[in-house]
Amino acid sequence: MEQKPTSKILNGILQNDRKCQELLYKQFYSYGMSVSLRYTNNRDEAVEVLNDGFMKVFSNISQYDTDRNFTAWFRRILINTAINYHKKTIKHNHQELDEAPADLGQRQNALDDLSYQEMILLVQALPLAYRTVFNLYVIEGYTHEEIATMLTISVGTSKSNLSRARAHLRNRITQNQKEGATRHER
């Protein structure tokens, strides 16, 4: 069911009411974190992006059309905030494919056994440029042309980054599976 802030909360935010701001924050915290975690390197960055996104929501609440989906509007703000947060890095996509989270190797099985937390860790382990394209294309549903425009990159780069992101994720999942099996045999 679609979450929507009440008109009382919206009016309170228009008046810069701190309590209403807190209520909105609590209501959409989980949703907002689920978006920002996928676009950032770690939890601290995710909180920073989330809070910056909420700041934009508070200051632009008058622009929100109450007839439309609040989460879609909020999601767009968060994605833009996250993209801007890493804009320069995204354009220079020569990041190394490393920095896998330490605890990913603890699992024995592949996709079926991966929790949300581990999925996030896998995504966060992707190089920033790959991760952003992967999120925008797979999770958000944008086309390569649209992603190219959003990130100011070429369509070819977008496609290439997606392909590499998938390959990287596949390798990490397989690697984790193998490491888990080895430990299990011991």
Partner 1 sequence: MNDKELDDFFRKQSENPDIPYREEDWGKLREKLDVSPPPRSINGSKQGYEGWWIGLLVLALITGAGLGWTLLRDNVQNPEAKSEQSVTARVLNSDSTTSADDFQETDKTDHLTAEDPHGGIISISTPNPIAIPIADGTELEGLIDKRTSTTSKSAGFGPSSNKMVVAKPLKPSQIIPIKVNPYNIQHLSPDIVTNVQEDQIQGSLLKATRKQIPISKPALNTGRIEGSRFYTTLTFAPDVSALKIKDIRGLGNSVGLNVEYFFHPKISINIGALYSFKTYQAGDGYSTGYMPAPSQVSGDCWVLDLPLNVRYYAFNQELSRWYVTTGLSSYLMLKEKYDLEYTSSNYGGSAYGNSLEVQNKNQHYLNIVNLGVGYERVLTNKLSLQVEPYLKLPFRGIGEGDITLKSAGAFVGLKYGW
Separation CA 57–CA 49 (nearest Å): 12
Cβ neighbors of 46 (< 8 A, separation 6 or more) are: 33, 36, 37, 39, 40
- Select 67 or 186, whichever has its Cβ closest to partner 1: 67
> C-beta of 128: minimal distance to partner 1 in Å?
17
What is the per-residue burial (b if ≥16 Cβ within 10 Å, else e) of 158-176? bebbbebbeebbeebbeeb
- Select 93 or 169, whichever has its Cβ closest to partner 1: 169
- Select 83 or 93, whichever has its Cβ closest to partner 1: 83
Residues lying near partner 1 in the complex (CB under 8 A) are found at 16, 18, 21-22, 25-26, 29-30, 33-34, 37-38, 47, 50-51, 54-55, 58-60, 62-63, 72, 76, 79-81, 83-84, 110-111, 114, 116, 119, 123, 134, 138-143, 145-146, 148-150, 152, 166, 169-170, 173
Name which of 50, 29, 25 is nearest 40 in CA terms.
50
> C-beta of 145: minimal distance to partner 1 in Å?
8
Separation CA 9–CA 37 (nearest Å): 26
